[in-house]
């Protein structure tokens, strides 16, 4: 093996030129015209004829593997790693006794402090990979490869990455990589960093390095700075000025918790590329920022070394001295001021300017998120989808177990949208992603649905258990590892069984892959699981997912059949329901689809809901209310006329009630005369409503002298609130009467029972 295998490293103009080739989706080459037939057999096609007919230019689309490798190469080039290997022919010796033994590196990128070595595997279709032998072999060879790289790049840190496209990895493969210190980049992580570069430009490199080398020492960094130590809000803080370049190396913006295993950051959307560019322009033109960046330094529980100055001033609570910052990647969380810090990343002044900083030490996650929310909400409201993602990051290790489970629900919601194996991959709005008819499900909707289930343990005060979760294993990570694959499998079944409905999204009156549809599926799954646990048919904490699912899909099948055959009229009706009741209606509809086919599936409240929602009592209620109205008005008019004589209508009615009724009556008389209809029998009394009756009954002395004993229902006699409460049944009836004018309204059983009881009581009153 030659020692010149590094000769294909490129930098500067050569690197920039190679970006053009790497960015193409095809490869091309000059060939003899006579070779065209055999080239066509190999997948090439002619792209160009030269003046010399002896030659032609041929080209061929890149394979999935080549495209993926180029994607990674371009990612590191755009992060402005200064040296990259030109192609994938880098074979690095790993055995110094036998240099013919080599390991291929697909992408190698280096800057002035680090080297990233990447191997890639790509599939055209999503599939489960088995890389155990490959990874074990590489694990044994890593030490030798690392030594060879460090010979070429002395004093550099080296990180190995295994990048996969369209592969899901086994737990065993992930364990091997974790033991070996190999990072796994799946499609979600790669796409994240591609997106991050679009937002941050080359500044994204600092976020990448912070994650790859988290808590590792940064060599040759001068970490001592003059500082003032003080107290604020019960916390010790340090105030100092620092070069942006140093803060960029140790700093990081909000990112996922290590419990997420892949350590992929989520919050680049808090940093806007347009703002970065304006900050950079402002700085390069001589501008500066007098306000402080706010950070929390993670000391690992050891605290920070602070050499107090010998010069002391009596009285002040603040102390002057020299602060020793941690010389570690990702040791300073930037709570506020991300744009100011990252705006310096490509600036001419990253090393020569200083920026003011207020640094807290070892703030717990709850306090960090509180400061973040306080600052950002005062400047601009934090979107609800971002709040959900924040809770997954910051509450994962909260001492409050209820908050932990909130974080778990948030994490599962995120995973559904970001895991390439998920049927909802790229269909969930996370952070500040743009919405579309295809990506229209929010993490907050998913989190809310999970919160209404019994999958996870619920906690009360002092972490007391209120109810045990069906999938809860005691810790967030164990519970997630058990529950998420189950949920994913169930949603995959729904997708594969209802492909047309699944692909509708929010278009064509879609009712499945929208917030309410997916929420209903999650809640119905909970209903099925609870039924089967009660019947002692499944045991989620001890049984395999496949065994459970074989039973569960028996109950899901009727739902898929319903979704595949739903009429356009029913689809339109479901989509036309708005307000808080719409979520419940979707859920109950899905429950009913199952219950109609599976008699043992009887969720609590289902029959009553459809009794209330199916217009079962509408016709009877419509018939009873006019009879009640006529009888009530007959009682009132009889009593008023008996007491006040022929002028009872004017003397007995409140002024506003009389004038409003007379106005309507006069309008009707006018219309009748114009149309040659009889108007002799029209009276303002005809236009007095049930709601008006209460005002008449309570007007003046009417209540005490005429109605206090006859127009109070027996069950209302002991009501507190006096005459107003005892006559509230009248406007309540009027409200039901008004609701019935809406054709879509369904009278609940409780309302019908009320109307029926009023009718029975009122009809028993004799009128003389």
pLDDT band at 265 (very low <50, low <70, confident <90, very high): very low
Q: Are 621 and 736 in contact (CB under 8 A)?
A: yes
Q: What angle do CA 399, 402, 408 make, to 5 degrees?
A: 95
Provide the pLDDT for residue 331.
Answer: 87
How many Å apart are CA 331 and CA 365, to the nearest integer? 14
pLDDT in tens, 153-207: 998 999 999 999 999 888 889 899 999 999 999 988 888 788 778 767 777 888 8
User: 10 Å Cβ neighbour count for 26?
Assistant: 12
| String of DSSP letters for 292-342 | PEEEEE--TTS--EEEE-S---SS-S-EEEEEE---BTT-EEEEE-HHHHH
Cα–Cα distance for residue pair 192/71, rounded to 1 Å = 12
Binned at pLDDT 50, 70 and 90, residue 132 comes out as very high
Q: Report the C-alpha gap between 587 and 452 in whole angstroms.
A: 11
Phi, psi dihedrals of residue 403, rounded to the nearest 5° = -70, -35
Q: Quick one: what percent of the chain has pLDDT higher than 90?
A: 51
Q: Which helix (H) or strand (E) holds 713?
A: none
The whole-number pLDDT of residue 396 equals 78
The owner of tokens 């309540």 is 732
**Cβ burial 695-732 (10 Å sphere, 16+ → b, else e):** bbbbbeebbeebbeeebbeeeeeeeeeebeebbebbbb
Strand pairing partners for 31?
A: 56
Residue pair 156/115 in contact by the 8 Å Cβ criterion: yes
Residue 567 Rama label (left phi>0; alpha psi -120 to 50; beta): beta
Of the pLDDT bands very low, low, confident and very high (cuts 50, 70, 90), residue 467 is: very high
Q: Are 205 and 111 in contact (CB under 8 A)?
A: yes
> What confidence category does residue 390 fall into, taking pLDDT thresholds of 50, 70 and 90?
low
Cα–Cα distance between 169 and 186 in angstroms, integer? 9
Nearest Cα to 710, choosing from 655, 662, 638?
A: 638
CB count in 10 Å sphere of residue 292: 17
Continuous segment of H or E residues that includes residue 735: helix 729-739
What is the per-residue pLDDT for 210?
Answer: 82
374-382 mean pLDDT: 54
| Cα–Cα dist 640/650, whole Å | 10
Structure tokens at 115: 């080297």
pLDDT higher than threshold 60 for residue 268: no
Overall average pLDDT of the 663-686 stretch: 86
pLDDT grade, residue 388 (50/70/90)?
low
Q: How far apart are CA 603 and CA 610, in angstroms?
A: 12
pLDDT band (50, 70, 90) for residue 760: very high
- Class of residue 85 by CB neighbours under 10 A (exposed 0-12, middle 13-18, buried 19+): buried
Residue 755 vs residues 713, 738, 746, 762: alpha-carbon distances, Å? 12, 14, 14, 10
Pairing of strands 355-361, 293-297: parallel
Q: Torsion angle, CA of 372/378/379/384, rounded to 10 degrees?
A: 70
392 has pLDDT over 70: no
Cβ atoms 238, 228 nearer than 8 A: yes
Strand ranges for 562-639 from DSSP E: none
Both tokens of 704, joined, read 């005490």
- Span 464-475, average pLDDT: 95
Contacts of 380 (CB under 8 A, 6+ apart): none
Bridge partners of residue 226, in order along the sequence: 322
What was the pLDDT predicted at 235? 82
Query: If you average pLDDT over every residue of the chain, what do you get?
Result: 86
Name the strand (E) or helix (H) holding 30. strand 26-32
Strand partners, 411: none
Q: What is the pLDDT of residue 258?
A: 29
Give mean pLDDT, residues 357-362: 90
Extract the runs of DSSP E, i.e. beta strands, from 439-558: 441-442, 458-459, 465-467
Q: Are 626 and 647 in contact (CB under 8 A)?
A: no
Among 412, 424, 367, residue whose Cα is nearest residue 388: 412
Residue 222, pLDDT score: 86
User: What strands lie across the sheet with 26-32, from one edge to the other?
Assistant: 26-32, 55-61, 45-49
CA–chain centroid gap for 47, Å, is 46
Listed residue (102, 73, 103, 91) closest to 10, CA to CA: 73
More confident residue, 373 or 596: 596
- Picking from 703, 754, 761, the residue whose alpha carbon sits closest to that of residue 727 is 703
Q: What are the tens digits of pLDDT across the range 206-255?
A: 888 888 888 788 877 888 999 999 987 778 899 999 888 888 888 877 54
Tell me what pLDDT residue 71 has. Answer: 95
Burial of 221 (0-12, 13-18, 19+ CB in 10 A): middle
Per-residue tokens: 592: 């009913």
Are 186 and 418 in contact, with CB atoms under 8 Å apart? no
User: Which structure tokens are listed for 54?
Assistant: 């002896």
Q: Quickly state the pLDDT bin for 461 (edges 50, 70, 90).
A: very high
Please state, in angstroms and rounded to a whole number, the distance separating the CA atoms of residues 552 and 641: 70
What pLDDT score was predicted for residue 718? 86
Domains of the chain and any CATH numbers = 9-25+62-185 (3.40.1350.10), 218-381 (no CATH), 386-609 (no CATH), 618-653+688-763 (no CATH)
Q: Show Cβ contacts of residue 139 under 8 Å, excluding neighbours closer than 6 positions.
A: 176, 179, 180, 182
Which residues does 317 contact at the CB level (< 8 Å), separation at least 6? Answer: 230, 231
Q: What is the pLDDT of residues 285-341, one digit of tens each?
A: 777 777 788 888 988 778 899 999 887 776 667 889 999 999 888 888 888 777 777
Contact 240, 225 (CB under 8 A): yes
Give the pLDDT confidence score for residue 381 in this predicted structure.
Answer: 47
Whether residue 596 is predicted with pLDDT greater than 90 in this model: the reply is yes
- Parallel, antiparallel, or unpaired for β 224-232 and 235-242? antiparallel
Q: Which two tokens stand for residue 406?
A: 């909130």
Confidence of residue 259 (pLDDT cuts 50, 70, 90): very low
pTM value?
Answer: 0.56
Nearest Cα to Cα of residue 487 among 470, 464, 503, 499: 470
| Residue pair 76/107 in contact by the 8 Å Cβ criterion | yes
Strands, E, within 447-486: which ranges? 458-459, 465-467
- CA 288 – CA 207 distance, rounded (Å): 23
How open is the CA angle 430-433-437, to the nearest 5 degrees? 100
Report how far residue 48's alpha carbon sits from residue 52's, in angstroms, rounded to the nearest whole number: 11
Instruction: Retrieve residue 753's tokens.
Output: 């029972």
Backbone angles phi, psi at 180, to 5 degrees: -85, -10
Query: Cα–Cα distance between 199 and 298 in angstroms, integer?
Result: 26
**Mean pLDDT of the region 355-378:** 74
Cβ atoms of 725 and 734 within 8 Å: the answer is no
Separation of alpha carbons 135 and 142, rounded Å: 10
| CA–CA dist 271, 256 (Å, integer) | 16
- pLDDT at residue 77 above 70? yes
C-alpha to C-alpha distance for 267 and 298, rounded to whole angstroms = 19
Determine contact, residues 150/131, Cβ cutoff 8 Å.
no
Helix (H) / strand (E) element for 244: namely: helix 244-250
Residue showing tokens 């990252």 = 342
Mean pLDDT of 537-545: 95
Query: 302 Cβ partners below 8 Å, 6+ apart?
Result: none
Is the confidence at residue 659, as pLDDT, over 60? yes
Q: Look at residue 547 in the predicted model and tell me its pLDDT.
A: 93
pLDDT at 386 over 60: no
Query: What kind and span of H or E run contains 45?
Result: strand 45-49
């Amino acid at each position: 093996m030659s020692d010149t295998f590094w000769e294909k490293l490129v930098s500067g103009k050569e690197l920039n030129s190679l970006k053009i080739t790497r960015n193409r989706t095809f490869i091309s080459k000059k060939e003899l015209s006579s070779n065209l037939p055999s080239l066509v057999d190999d997948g090439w096609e002619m792209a160009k004829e030269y003046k010399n007919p002896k030659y032609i230019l041929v080209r061929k689309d890149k394979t999935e593997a080549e495209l993926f490798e180029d994607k990674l190469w371009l990612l590191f080039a755009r992060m402005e790693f200064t040296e990259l290997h030109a192609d994938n022919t880098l074979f690095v010796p790993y055995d110094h006794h036998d240099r013919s033994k080599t390991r291929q590196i697909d992408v190698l990128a280096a800057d002035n402090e680090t080297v990233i070595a990447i191997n890639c595997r790509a599939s055209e279709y999503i599939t489960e990979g088995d890389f155990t032998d490959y990874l074990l072999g590489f694990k044994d060879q890593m030490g030798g490869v690392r030594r060879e790289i460090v010979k070429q790049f002395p004093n550099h840190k080296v990180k190995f990455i295994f990048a996969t496209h369209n592969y899901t990895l086994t737990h065993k493969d992930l364990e091997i990589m974790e033991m070996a210190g190999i990072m796994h980049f799946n499609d979600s992580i790669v796409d994240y960093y591609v997106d991050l570069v679009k937002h941050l430009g080359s500044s994204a490199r600092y976020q990448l390095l912070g994650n790859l080398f988290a808590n590792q020492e940064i060599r040759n960094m001068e970490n001592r700075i003059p500082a003032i130590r003080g107290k604020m809000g019960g916390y010790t803080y340090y105030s100092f000025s620092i070069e942006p370049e140093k803060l960029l190396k140790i700093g990081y913006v909000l990112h996922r918790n290590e419990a997420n295993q892949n350590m992929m950051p989520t919050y680049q959307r808090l940093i806007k590329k347009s703002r970065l560019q304006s900050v950079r322009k402002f700085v390069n033109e001589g501008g500066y920022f007098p306000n402080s960046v706010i950070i929390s330094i993670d000391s690992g529980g050891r605290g920070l070394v602070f050499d107090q100055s010998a010069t002391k001033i009596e009285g002040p609570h603040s102390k002057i001295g020299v602060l020793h910052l941690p010389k570690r990647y990702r040791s300073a969380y930037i709570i506020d001021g991300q744009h100011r810090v990252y705006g310096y990343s490509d600036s001419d002044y990253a090393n020569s300017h200083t920026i003011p900083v207020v640094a807290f030490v070892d703030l717990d996650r709850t306090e960090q998120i509180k400061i973040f929310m306080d600052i950002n909400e005062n400047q601009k409201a934090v979107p609800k989808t971002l709040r959900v993602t924040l809770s997954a990051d910051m509450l994962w290790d909260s001492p409050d177990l209820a908050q932990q489970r909130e974080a778990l629900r948030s994490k599962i919601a995120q995973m559904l949208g970001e895991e390439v194996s998920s049927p909802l991959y790229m269909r969930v709005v996370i952070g500040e992603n743009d919405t579309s008819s295809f990506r229209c499900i929010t993490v907050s909707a998913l989190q809310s649905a999970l919160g209404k289930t019994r999958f996870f343990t619920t906690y009360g005060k002092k972490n007391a258990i209120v109810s045990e979760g069906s999938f809860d294993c005691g810790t967030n990570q164990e519970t997630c590892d058990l529950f998420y694959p189950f949920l994913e499998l169930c949603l995959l079944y729904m997708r594969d069984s209802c492909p047309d409905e699944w692909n509708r999204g929010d278009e064509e009156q879609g009712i499945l892959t929208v917030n309410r549809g997916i929420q209903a599926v999650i809640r119905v799954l909970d209903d099925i699981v609870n039924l089967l646990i009660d019947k002692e048919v499944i045991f989620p904490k001890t049984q395999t997912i496949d065994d459970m699912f074989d039973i569960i899909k028996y109950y899901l099948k009727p739902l898929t059949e319903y979704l595949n055959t739903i009429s356009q009229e029913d689809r339109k009706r479901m989509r036309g329901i708005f307000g808080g009741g719409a979520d419940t209606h979707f859920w109950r509809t899905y429950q009913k689809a199952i219950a109609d086919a599976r008699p043992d599936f009887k969720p609590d409240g289902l029959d009553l809901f459809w009794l209330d929602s199916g217009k079962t009592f509408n016709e009877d209620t419509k018939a009873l209310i006019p009879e009640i109205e006529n009888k009530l008005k007959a009682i009132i008019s009889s009593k008023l006329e008996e007491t006040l004589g022929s002028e009872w209508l004017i003397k007995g009615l409140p002024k506003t009630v009389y004038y409003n009724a007379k106005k309507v009556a006069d309008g009707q008389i006018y219309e009748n005369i114009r149309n040659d209809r009889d108007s002799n029998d029209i009276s303002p009394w005809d236009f007095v409503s049930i709601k008006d009756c209460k005002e008449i009954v309570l007007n003046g002395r009417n209540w005490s002298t005429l109605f206090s004993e006859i127009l109070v229902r027996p069950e209302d006699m002991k009501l507190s609130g006096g005459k107003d409460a005892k006559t509230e049944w009248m406007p309540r009836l009027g409200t039901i009467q008004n609701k019935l004018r809406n054709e879509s309204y369904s009278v609940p059983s409780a309302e019908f029972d009320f109307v029926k009881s009023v009718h029975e009581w009122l009809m028993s009153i004799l009128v003389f």
